[in-house]
Amino acid sequence: MAGTAVEQVVAAIAEAEGIAPEDLDVSLQHYVSTDAIQDLAAHDNDAWRLEFETNRHVVELTRENTIRVDGDHRGTFS
């Protein structure tokens, strides 16, 4: 996945729905601080995990830069 960490998370959610990212009707900033996602992606500490819910999904980001949507591994972010 290319793009920012936020774009990579959006792409992972879209993949879970089987649609293109531009067709996703979810605005992440309504559910989580997109600045927090960017900050965590750049964070050096290895002891963190971020989980948030959208109206249809549970999204988890981990220190290993993995993205899980509804428990399924959907890629990585950087």
| Whether residue 1 has pLDDT greater than 60 | no
pLDDT of residue 2: 63
pLDDT in tens, 6-64: 999 999 999 999 999 999 998 899 999 999 998 888 877 778 899 999 999 999 999 88
Residue 65 CA, chain-centre distance (Å), reads 10
- Domain span including residue 57: 5-76
- Please report which residue ranges of the chain form alpha helices under DSSP H: 5-17, 34-42
Q: For the full predicted model, state whether its pTM sits above 0.85.
A: yes
Q: How many domains in the chain?
A: 1
pLDDT of residue 71: 96
CA dihedral 74, 31, 56, 50 (to 10 degrees): 40
- Angle between helices 5-17 and 34-42 in degrees, nearest 10: 110
